[in-house]
Amino acid sequence: MTSTLLKTPPLNAPTIKKLPNGLTIVAEQMPVEAVNLNVWINVGSALESDDINGMAHFLEHMIFKGTPRLESGEFERLIEERGAVTNAATSQDYTHYYITTAPKDFAQLAPLQLDVVLNPSIPDEAFERERLVILEEIRRSDDNPGRRTFRRAIETTFEQLPYRRQVLGPASVIEQLKPQQMRDFHGKWYQPRQMTAVAVGNLPVEELLEIVVDGFNQAETHSRNGSFADSFVHHPSSFYPEPAFQEIVRREYVDESLQQARLVMVWRVPGMLQLEQTYALDVLSAILGQGRMSRLVRDLREDRKLVSHIGVSNMTQRLQGVFYISAHLQEENLAEVESAIAQHIRRFQTELVAEADIARIRRQVANRFIFGNEKPSDRTSLYGYYQCQIGDLEPALSYPTRIQSINPGDIQAAAQQYLSADAYGIVTIKPAKS
């Protein structure tokens, strides 16, 4: 086993340990009376085939339904008895499970979390009960106007990449899944080589590492799948970023539940695998539509009052990102707002951004990085995300520095290369006429 201490700013000093079985462990002592363990698995809905779309999220639910050593509900009972908390989340690119405990309870509870993640029983009866829960979650998602809008925008953005599908999966697929398919899925993907375990809190680093290593060893010993190190799973090689839009791709809908229209404009942009290309777009998105001082908010909401809400985000997914602009507005303003947004994009391409605008974003990013590192769970999320997605913590820790190095020329070049004012995806959703 090897350990390395990263050269980082004083705020963060994580230690990385790589085990012979491929597991990566990140640990850091933090003077807060809590410890968070966050286990990241490098699998999400993007790695599912169409016929099991939704399996990763369904499995996240089933992880908590017992192991050969823990009855269903026993893990949660032990967590609650000690005032600890646990939860999980699934995305297109990853799944992660976390607990926060008092330092004195970490040695007892961490191995339990590792057991439920690595050794779920996935009993047939619990599978059928949880299927109903998943189907209800899909129905609630379908009934949510915001989620419907986002789904239509993402389906417009991607024609081929699996990001166009829902993490929850369609009801028609969930209804057909079998428990053995889930056991096979777990056995294939929940391998140490696909995992990052991050422990941060008020225990010495060597103690954190020892507890996690021992917990994994115990879980491997009891695993019904045998040695995790025997199987190495490669990511599908058929996934490639989609080319930029060559024209305006327009999708129009009517939604009876809406009181105001929705407008979403999207561009395909670099993702985590082209991380260096994302920083200028992050700054551009903030200048354009994050906060009351941003250009679109001042122009379209505050000055011209054409929208009731508008926001911009640069969504950096692993394979490919999405530059995403969304607005709530009256139907009669749709054409004017679309034209105005395109004009703002052109302005970035032809005029250099003022230094004052960039300085505002630099301050915001630096402060958010500090504020977002105050709790153990903040740091395990930061470390786990980057280590899981790209196998490197350095970009996570140097993000403020990289943003501060962005200059007006970088922003102009990013706008020219990735944000055409004449080729994009656009979704408009109008309220039903009474």
Q: pLDDT tens across 299-310, in order?
A: 999 999 999 999
Mean pLDDT of 372-397: 93
How does pLDDT run across 53-71, given as a tens digit for each residue? 999 999 999 999 999 999 9
CA–CA separation, 78 and 85 (whole Å):
10
Whether the predicted pLDDT of 227 surpasses 50:
no
Looking at the DSSP bridge assignments, the partners of residue 429 are 253, 262
- Taking each helix axis as running N to C, give the angle between helix 74-81 and helix 106-118, from 0 to 180 degrees, rounded to the nearest 10: 160
Q: Are 394 and 219 in contact (CB under 8 A)?
A: no
How does pLDDT run across 101-129, given as a tens digit for each residue? 999 999 999 999 999 999 999 999 999 99
Q: Which of 11-15, 26-30, 278-282 has the lowest average pLDDT?
A: 11-15
Distance (Å) of CA 331 to CA 261, 289, 427, 430: 5, 21, 13, 6
Q: Are 306 and 296 in contact (CB under 8 A)?
A: no
* pLDDT score for 363: 86
Instruction: Out of 167-171, 355-359, 393-397, give the one with best mean pLDDT.
Output: 167-171
Looking at the DSSP bridge assignments, the partners of residue 329 are 261, 307
State whether residue 2 is helix, strand or coil. Answer: strand
The angle subtended at Cα 16 by Cα 12 and Cα 19, nearest 5°, is 165
| Residue given tokens 């695998």 in the structure block | 273
Q: What is the pTM of this model?
A: 0.91
Query: How many CB atoms neighbour CB 10 within 10 A?
Result: 5
| Residue given tokens 């005032």 in the structure block | 83
Buried b (16+ CB within 10 A) or exposed e, 106-135: bbebbbbbbbbbbbbbbeeebbeebbeebe
Whether the predicted pLDDT of 220 surpasses 90:
no
Buried b (16+ CB within 10 A) or exposed e, 49-67: eeebbbbbbbbbbbbbbbb
| Residue given tokens 């009256």 in the structure block | 330
Whether the predicted pLDDT of 5 surpasses 60:
no
Whether the predicted pLDDT of 6 surpasses 70:
no
Q: Are 115 and 64 in contact (CB under 8 A)?
A: no
Q: List Cβ neighbours of 34 (8 Å cut-off, separation of 6 or more).
A: 100, 101, 102, 103, 201, 202, 375, 376
Mean pLDDT (the chain, rounded): 92
Q: Are 429 and 149 in contact (CB under 8 A)?
A: yes
| Confidence bin at 10 (pLDDT 50/70/90) | low
CA–CA separation, 171 and 175 (whole Å):
6
* pLDDT score for 233: 36
Buried b (16+ CB within 10 A) or exposed e, 212-230: bbebbebbbeebebeebee
Sign of the alpha-carbon dihedral angle for 280, 349, 343, 354:
positive
CA–CA separation, 70 and 81 (whole Å):
15
